[in-house]
Homo-oligomer: A and B are copies of this chain.
Amino acid sequence: MTAKLYCFGESGNAYKAALTLELAGVDWEPVFVDFFNGEARAEPFKQINAMGEVPVLVDGDLTLTQSGVIQQYVVDTTGKFGGAPEDKYDVMRWVLWDNHKMSSQAGPLRFLMNFLPEDKRPQEVIKFMQGRLNAAYAVLDGHLRGRDWIVGDGMTAADLSCCSYLFYDEPFGFDRADWPNIDAWLTRISEVPGWKHPYDLMQRGLPA
């Protein structure tokens, strides 16, 4: 049975799940959630996920939310992207770090800078979040110096989590040219057979 991923193109968190499903070869299809018109925070969707968020994966009787959980499910069911057994905690470490320090800032910041009307963009908040994100980019770029992948010698859920927002073109203060190790790593990921840009995996909520 085809697994259904509730998602929309602009969500980097949904992209983490979608790209992991896609590259692992899982039989899945996207179900569009009209986030920008409030669908994720309205009652019918909250019956699926009370957190009011995408992504949600429905696979038969199983409903899973949080991108890191969906990634772990893909690891458990396909054997892919979990890394070596001894690297389990290290993969989890970077997925948690991404959720805590990177995506939790990059998602809202990109929203504020691109999807809010220009006269409603809170400049002090934007500057604060960019500062926090620059510290996160420095950690990631430093870690990738001399490494092809975040953990071990192949792509894992850690890469597929940390890369997600960095593939979007809308400006949010991230410039690949500033971070050469991140830049090379993003190129490496995009050259993996089957890789797709978020807007080629999931329907967008807003016009291009």
Contacts and interface: CB of A to CB of B under 8 A. Distances in A.
A125 interface: yes
Interface string A88-128: 01001101110111011100100000000000001111001
A105 B105 CA distance: 9
A142 to B, nearest CB: 6
A72 interface: yes
- The number of times this chain is found in the oligomer is 2
B69 A92 contact: yes
A69 B89 contact: yes
**Dominant SS among interface residues on chain A:** helix
Contacts of A64: 89, 93
Contacts of A105: 104
28 contacts: A50-B142, A51-B97, A51-B101, A52-B139, A64-B93, A65-B93, A66-B92, A66-B93, A66-B96, A66-B97, A66-B100, A67-B96, A68-B92, A69-B89, A69-B92, A69-B93, A96-B96, A99-B100, A99-B104, A100-B103, A100-B104, A101-B104, A104-B104, A104-B105, A108-B132, A124-B124, A125-B125, A125-B128
